[in-house]
Amino acid sequence: MLKKILIIRHIEIEGPGTFGRFLEEKKVPYQILDVHKYDPNELSSLGLDDVCGIIVLGGPMNVYEEDKYPFLEPEKILIKRALEINIPMIGICLGGQLIATCLGAVVRRAPIKEIGWFDVLFEDSAKDDALLKGLGPGTKVFQWHEDTFDLPSGAVILVKSNGMNQAFRSGSAVWGFQFHIEVDDEIIKSWYDEYVKGGPCVPSYPDTSAGYQAIAEDFQAKAKRVYAAFLNETKRDRPF
């Protein structure tokens, strides 16, 4: 049976972006699971036998808002099942926070709200990490969050900045990223239109689109290296 990548999406506007396009280019089968549309009573018991890897995307909700977003609790149950059976998994922003929560860590308000482009620093542990090796010692990443995660017990911190954990690895093949690697100029503009114009969010970087244009080539190259490395973790017999 040909296994697939499961992509968990929380809101239409925050899709897989360049990660999804990379999967398509490599002809890797994937399924987008729109948890916000799913019956919460069925979500937690979905079958995972045909899943070789999971990508948990971002969203404007907080991990502790189960009353407002009833899909969050069964989604956490689904993630915990995936952790128990050792499915390689990567969480981006909200996705990273959800994985951290499922591993027993606390998710709380960040000391600063990061919206825009920020420099992050790689820890020494990132030098040997399957996804991040060779990308440091620092880089500029795109952020859009108001919460942050504590480091789960037994996990390895990989990236930090602004007094916050920005990336960790749990076990050999589970990662939580606070920052976004899947964005391109179109996605950034759509978030600005949805979340900023007429809303409460103010980008820390004055022109998020200009910030992308300045580093697009380097940013995309690094993102693709992360994507390829993650796929190699899910299908070791078929390098990408």
Buried/exposed 186-205: b ≥16 CB within 10 Å, e otherwise: ebbeebbebbeeeeebebbb
Which amino acid, residue 185? D
Please identify which of the residues 14, 123, 182, 233 carries the catalytic annotation: 182
Please identify which of the residues 10, 14, 180, 233 carries the catalytic annotation: 180
Helix, strand counts (H, E) of the chain: 6, 9
Q: Quick check: is 180 catalytic?
A: yes
Answer yes or no: are the C-beta atoms of 93 and 9 closer than 8 Å: no
Q: Quick check: is 182 catalytic?
A: yes
Question: Rounded to 5 degrees, what are φ and ψ at 79?
Answer: -65, -40
List C-alpha distances in Å: 92 to 102, 133, 179, 197, 235.
14, 18, 6, 24, 20
List C-alpha distances in Å: 168 to 9, 21, 29, 53, 155.
21, 24, 26, 17, 6
List C-alpha distances in Å: 179 to 3, 55, 142.
27, 14, 6
Answer yes or no: are the C-beta atoms of 93 and 144 closer than 8 Å: yes
Residues 6+ apart with CB under 8 A from 67: none
Please identify which of the residues 52, 75, 93, 114 carries the catalytic annotation: 93
Q: What is the DSSP string of 1-23?
A: ---EEEEEESSTTS--HHHHHHH
Catalytic positions, please?
93, 180, 182
